[in-house]
């Protein structure tokens, strides 16, 4: 499989026999190639169901799912899956295989030569931040975070255009989780794959997603847009409640003061105004203003030179 | 004991090892085949387990005597019941072993594009090894022990010297102790071999 990995859900529906209501109801999503798309929502929203339909671990009743214009039903399931990376929460690492053998699984299924497999394993361990020596270890000897790194390396092994991730960081402690979130974002910029990432955590969705699809009970799509647009204009009361009353602050957290049009420093800046770095989020800058009782902050570049000021009234304008 | 080693004990020991090996190997082949079958067709598991348990309840002496008119004084007469008895241990252990693969591991395997045959040979069977070897250990030890009774048919195995000694007007205990001791030693030795096999085959735990 090659191509950019555009994924289209076209009115996909599913009901489970003997169960009330839909698992998924007429889900339509257009996920452009290279997008990091997060499926988020309460349990019973069908987000994992939707994810597993892409690699056909779960079947659908009607509609279609296409990757680069080709229906996932066209290929034999086994062949389809070898072209799609798959990461799950419990890692699903093979306990009886070393880290290296785990990562080599799909390349070997595809019949790669030994030397190529070895080189790829080494490259991937590097990419996900593991040491070469880890290749000889067994999954039982890894920490939760390391296990999930191996899971990611294994999923990326054959360089698939599409990566499916089912609550990959759900079982990790908050610190490890945050670190892996940041690294996955960085990785995504490097490898340019279409990612579908399932989580029930709206914070994670906002941090990770280029686009967020919010699913609600009964497998209905509540809203599908960029994090900023969803926070600015929630589609209905359900979305509003799901993203929380602090959505204005969440929006500010998405932007860095360095990306905002700053005012020029005119005259002297009041000495009580806090100094912040360009990489500070607007949310944290606001917090400093409120905390220090000042009407603005002084933004300082990496070299220590003042870049400009961000005033309280500008922050309000950002939210308009 | 040394006086009887070459003419009595050693040949009997070799016979005993033979009987055990044949019975456990055959039992393993049957149990393995049946376990694979019931791994695919779940409904037959309970009936097979029940049948194995029923076979186990047949007293060994009765089984030998029933088969005697059919197969005569032969290895076959001895091996059939021993094989049957091993099923009650081997079959459930292999079935449980095949079921030992965690759900998330199976899902990841399928999700990565392993065929169901590859899931069996590359994931389920390797993960079943600890349970399979565990079952083999018990089966071997119990077969070594039950094979002693096989000496009723043609005096084969280490039970031979024991039964002979018991027929003496004043039983001479040396045979009983030396042959009995060898049965215990053989069982221990077999167990050690299997523990060694387990250690070298299964390096992923811990």
Write down the ipTM of this complex. 0.85
Residue A242 contacts B where some CB pair is shorter than 8 Å: no
Residues in chain B: 206
- Domain containing B91 — which CATH number? 1.10.3720.10
Q: Domain for residue B85, yes or no?
A: yes
Q: Domain for residue B206, yes or no?
A: no
- Which residues of chain A are within 8 Å of residue B203 when distances are taken between CB atoms? 138
Chain A segment 40-59 residues within 8 A of B by beta carbon are 52, 55, 57
Query: How distant is the Cα of B197 from the closest Cα of chain A, in angstroms?
Result: 16
Q: What percent of chain B has pLDDT over 90?
A: 63
Looking at residue A61, what is its pLDDT?
Answer: 95
Residue A108 contacts B where some CB pair is shorter than 8 Å: no
The average pLDDT across A20-37 equals 94
The average pLDDT across B5-21 equals 86
Q: Which of A272, A257, A246, A255 is nearest to A308 (CA)?
A: A257
Q: Domain for residue B79, yes or no?
A: yes
Taking CA–CA distances from A75, the nearest residue in chain B reads B113
Helices and strands per DSSP (H, E), number in chain B: 10, 0
For the stretch B27-56, pLDDT in tens is 999 999 999 999 999 999 999 999 999 999
Q: Is the pLDDT of residue A181 over 90?
A: yes
Contact state of B114 with A109 under an 8 Å Cβ cutoff = yes
Tell me the pairing of strands A36-40 and A194-199: parallel
- Which residues of chain B are within 8 Å of residue A166 when distances are taken between CB atoms? none
Residues B148 and B162: beta-carbon distance below 8 Å: yes
Q: Which of A171, A157, A72, A162 is nearest to A110 (CA)?
A: A157
Q: Domain for residue B27, yes or no?
A: yes
Query: How distant is the Cα of B196 from the closest Cα of chain A, in angstroms?
Result: 18
The average pLDDT across A237-260 equals 90
Contact state of B110 with A106 under an 8 Å Cβ cutoff = no
For the stretch B159-169, pLDDT in tens is 888 888 887 77
What residues contact A307, with CB distance under 8 A and at least 6 apart?
Answer: A258, A262, A278, A299, A300, A301
The average pLDDT across A215-236 equals 94
Contact state of B109 with A106 under an 8 Å Cβ cutoff = no
- Which residues of chain B are within 8 Å of residue A171 when distances are taken between CB atoms? none
Q: Is the pLDDT of residue A1 over 50?
A: no
Query: How distant is the Cα of A20 from the closest Cα of chain B, in angstroms?
Result: 26
For the stretch A30-63, pLDDT in tens is 999 999 999 999 988 899 999 999 999 999 999 9
Looking at residue A111, what is its pLDDT?
Answer: 95
Looking at residue A317, what is its pLDDT?
Answer: 87
Q: What percent of chain A has pLDDT over 90?
A: 71
Residues A243 and A184: their CA atoms lie apart, in Å, by: 22
Residue A205 contacts B where some CB pair is shorter than 8 Å: no
Looking at residue A213, what is its pLDDT?
Answer: 97
Q: Which of A164, A149, A203 is nearest to A49 (CA)?
A: A164
Q: Is the pLDDT of residue A93 over 90?
A: yes
pLDDT tier at A268 (50, 70, 90 boundaries)?
low
Looking at residue A91, what is its pLDDT?
Answer: 92
Contact state of A82 with B112 under an 8 Å Cβ cutoff = yes
pLDDT tier at B179 (50, 70, 90 boundaries)?
confident
Residue A82 contacts B where some CB pair is shorter than 8 Å: yes
Q: What would the two tokens of residue A136 be?
A: 């000889």
Query: How distant is the Cα of B93 from the closest Cα of chain A, in angstroms?
Result: 19
Work out the angle at residue A109's Cα, subtended by the Cα atoms of residues A105 and A115, and round it to the nearest 5 degrees.
75
The average pLDDT across A261-279 equals 80
For the stretch B103-153, pLDDT in tens is 999 999 999 999 999 999 999 999 999 999 999 999 999 999 999 988 888
Q: Is the pLDDT of residue B192 over 90?
A: yes
Looking at residue B170, what is its pLDDT?
Answer: 72
Q: DSSP string covering chain A, please?
A: --S---EEEEEEEE--TTSSS-SEEEEEEEE-TT-EEEEE-STTS-HHHHHHHHTTSS--SEEEEEETTEETTTS-HHHHHHTEEEEETT----TTS-HHHHHTHHHHHTT--HHHHHHHHHHHHHHTT--GGGGGS-GGGS-HHHHHHHHHHHHHTT--SEEEEESTTTTS-HHHHHHHHHHHHHHHHHH--EEEEEES-HHHHHHH-SEEEEEETTTEEEEEE-HHHHHHS-SSHHHHHHH-TTHHHHHHHTSBGGGS-PBP--S---TTSPEEETTSBHHHHHHHHHHHT-SEEEEE-TTS-EEEEEEHHHHHHHT-
Taking CA–CA distances from B128, the nearest residue in chain A reads A96
The total number of structural domains that make up chain B: 1
Q: Which of A236, A266, A232, A233 is nearest to A252 (CA)?
A: A232
Q: Is the pLDDT of residue B68 over 80?
A: yes
Residue A94 contacts B where some CB pair is shorter than 8 Å: yes
Q: Domain for residue B6, yes or no?
A: yes
Q: Domain for residue B68, yes or no?
A: yes
Looking at residue B2, what is its pLDDT?
Answer: 57
Nearest by CB to residue A96, choosing from B112, B127, B206, is B127
The average pLDDT across A193-197 equals 96
Average per-residue pLDDT for chain A: 92
Looking at residue B172, what is its pLDDT?
Answer: 64
Contact state of A92 with B126 under an 8 Å Cβ cutoff = no
Residues A7 and A123: their CA atoms lie apart, in Å, by: 27
Chains A, B: CB contacts within 8 A come to 75
pLDDT tier at A259 (50, 70, 90 boundaries)?
confident
Residues A156 and A162: their CA atoms lie apart, in Å, by: 9
Chain B segment 133-192 residues within 8 A of A by beta carbon are none
The average pLDDT across A87-105 equals 95
Query: How distant is the Cα of A106 from the closest Cα of chain B, in angstroms?
Result: 7
Strand order through the sheet with A7-14: A24-31, A7-14, A62-67, A70-71
Looking at residue B156, what is its pLDDT?
Answer: 85
Residue B200 contacts A where some CB pair is shorter than 8 Å: no
For the stretch A120-159, pLDDT in tens is 999 999 999 999 999 999 999 999 999 999 999 999 999 9
Q: Domain for residue B139, yes or no?
A: yes
Residue A36 contacts B where some CB pair is shorter than 8 Å: no
Q: Domain for residue B86, yes or no?
A: yes
The average pLDDT across A314-318 equals 88
Contact state of B111 with A86 under an 8 Å Cβ cutoff = yes
Query: How distant is the Cα of A202 from the closest Cα of chain B, in angstroms?
Result: 24
Question: Structural domain of residue B53, as residue ranges?
Answer: 2-201
pLDDT tier at B206 (50, 70, 90 boundaries)?
low
Residue A237 contacts B where some CB pair is shorter than 8 Å: no
CB burial class (10 A; 0-12, 13-18, 19+) of residue B198? middle
């Amino acid at each position: 499989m090659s191509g950019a990995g555009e994924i289209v859900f076209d009115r996909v529906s599913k009901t489970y026999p003997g169960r009330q209501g839909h698992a998924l109801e007429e889900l339509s999503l257009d996920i452009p190639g290279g997008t990091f798309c997060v499926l988020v929502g309460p349990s019973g929203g069908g987000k994992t169901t939707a994810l597993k339909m892409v690699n056909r671990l779960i079947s659908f009743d009607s509609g279609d799912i296409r990757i680069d214009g080709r229906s996932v039903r066209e290929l034999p399931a086994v062949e389809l899956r070898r072209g799609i990376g798959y990461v799950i929460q419990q890692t699903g690492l093979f306990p009886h295989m070393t880290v290296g053998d785990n990562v080599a699984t799909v390349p070997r299924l595809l019949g790669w030569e030994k030397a190529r497999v070895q080189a790829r394993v080494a490259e991937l361990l590097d990419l996900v931040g593991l040491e070469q020596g880890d290749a000889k270890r067994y999954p039982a000897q890894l920490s939760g975070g390391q296990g999930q790194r191996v899971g990611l390396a294994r999923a990326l092994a054959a360089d698939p255009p599409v990566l499916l991730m089912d609550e990959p960081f759900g079982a990790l402690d908050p610190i490890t989780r945050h670190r892996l979130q940041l690294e996955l974002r960085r990785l995504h910029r490097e490898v340019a794959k279409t990612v579908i990432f399932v989580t029930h955590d709206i914070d994670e969705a906002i941090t990770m997603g280029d686009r967020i699809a919010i699913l609600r009970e009964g497998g209905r799509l509540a809203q599908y847009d960029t994090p900023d647009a969803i926070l600015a204009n929630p589609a209905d009361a359900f979305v509003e409640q799901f993203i929380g009353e602090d959505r204005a602050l969440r929006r500010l957290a998405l932007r860095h003061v360095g990306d905002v049009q700053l005012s020029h420093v005119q005259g002297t800046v009041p000495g009580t105004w806090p100094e912040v770095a360009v990489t500070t989020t607007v949310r944290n800058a606001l917090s400093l203003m409120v905390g220090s009782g000042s009407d603005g902050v002084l933004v300082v570049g990496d070299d220590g030179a003042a870049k400009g000021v961000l005033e309280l009234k500008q922050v309000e304008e950002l939210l308009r | 004991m040394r006086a009887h080693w070459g003419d009595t004990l050693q040949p009997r020991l070799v016979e005993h090892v033979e009987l055990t090996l044949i019975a456990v190997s055959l039992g393993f082949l049957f149990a393995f085949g049946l376990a694979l079958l019931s791994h695919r067709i779940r409904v037959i598991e309970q009936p097979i387990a029940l049948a194995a348990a029923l076979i186990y309840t047949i007293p060994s002496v009765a089984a030998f005597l029933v088969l005697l008119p059919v197969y005569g004084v032969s290895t076959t007469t001895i091996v059939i019941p021993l094989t049957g008895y091993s099923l009650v241990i081997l079959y459930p252990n292999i079935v449980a072993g095949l079921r030992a693969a965690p759900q998330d591991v199976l899902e990841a395997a399928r999700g990565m594009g392993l065929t169901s045959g590859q899931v069996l040979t590359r994931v389920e069977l390797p993960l079943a090894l600890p349970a399979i070897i565990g079952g083999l250990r018990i089966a071997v030890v119990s077969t070594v022990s039950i094979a002693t009774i096989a000496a009723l048919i043609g005096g084969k195995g280490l039970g031979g010297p024991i039964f002979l000694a018991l027929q003496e007007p004043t039983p001479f205990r040396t045979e009983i102790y030396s042959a009995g001791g060898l049965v215990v030693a053989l069982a221990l030795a077999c167990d050690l071999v299997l523990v060694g096999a387990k250690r070298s085959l299964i390096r992923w735990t811990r």
